[in-house]
Structure 1
Amino acid sequence: MDSATTRIWLRHAALLIDREKDRLTRLDLAIGDGDHGVNMHRGFLAVTAELDQRHTERDMTAGKLLVGAGNTLVSSIGGASGPLFGSSFRALGKTLDGPGPEDEGHRFAEALTAASDSIHRLGAAQPGDKTMYDVYRPASEAFARATGSGGGLALAARAAADAAEEGVRATEPMQARRGRASYLGLRSVGHQDPGAASLALIFRALVNALEAK
């Protein structure tokens, strides 16, 4: 994926999060602090501001842009979400710029796996814990399957976004075992995880960016 498409992706993510920030806040009010939507909105506003400042830099690869976005998210989003989202973007960017397959679909699949693994390590999350890992893992696996079947980036991204949205819905009946929501015990059942919902928006923004090429 080139740097121009990466810029479009990040801007589309900011747009979707801005549009859905009230819903994300309502989700977080049910099982968290109630500030997730505001925090994500602030973080992606900071990312777009950084993109505006660096728009004349011609040597910015997709990987560098994503690492920069990750750094910005870590410093501008409060709570646990900043490190989690930030680390995933940094892992994604570092893998894209590192050694790997020449085919861009397989390279991006490896980068998504690295990003998912970073969430797993940092948050110590397992499948079924009702976290964003319940979205990142199936989405990255869906992307890899689509790429392995010969699909292009846009087709693979759509498969990942569909899996991400299914992953969000799957968090609703789960009992949270990580994060603040875990303190609610059975009362966390019946609510979607807000971090998972935000991540699904980011995957949908990737589809929008790739289909806009």
Structure 2
Amino acid sequence: MSTAEPRWRRLGPDERREQILTCAIELFGERPYSAVSTTELANRAGVARGLINHYFGTKRDLYLEVVRRMVMIPQVAVDRLPKGTLEERVTESIRWFLDTVSRHSKAWLAAIGAEGVDPEVERILAEADERAADRVLEATGLAAETAHREELRAMIRAYGGLVKSAAREWLVRGALTRPQVEVLMNTTLLAIIREASPGLDSTAT
């Protein structure tokens, strides 16, 4: 006897919204925005089209929410880190990121690939870069740093550019393996924290 839950099982509002968003992530990862219809989104999620409008508004609104989900680092990613050494926290942070990107690689690549093409996505990506800088500072114990804070955040944003490029080398080109990307990200971030960051005082003018 099958124990699978029927597709029409009643879900709470939060569960239903998450179900629709998950299906949208899959579809927008498979095809460009213009090639995905609201009807197809509804069919994939097993809901009426009206529910998509109810939870997200237009197809465009749903797409932008998919981009936010793909590029924004949530607070929980920092909260779940072990109370260990700097090396352990950096390692776990990077592994969480690579796990997340690997799980939804097509949708993540599509989101960051719209940079410089779609103004609304551009704004979301810029906000994500700022939030990522704050999350990294928090994860590495530098959240309370006040001296040269903006320069330090700029370094982390620059590091974010390396992260995106390295992930493309792994996911698109296959030129790097995941362990190689992890080593690159790990050593670079630790170098910023241990060498570049302390050196800001000596380079101030």
TM range (shorter): under 0.3
TM-score (norm 2): 0.28
TM-score (norm 1): 0.27
Bigger RCO of structures 1 and 2 (CA < 8 A, at least 6 apart): 1
Bigger radius of gyration among the two: 2
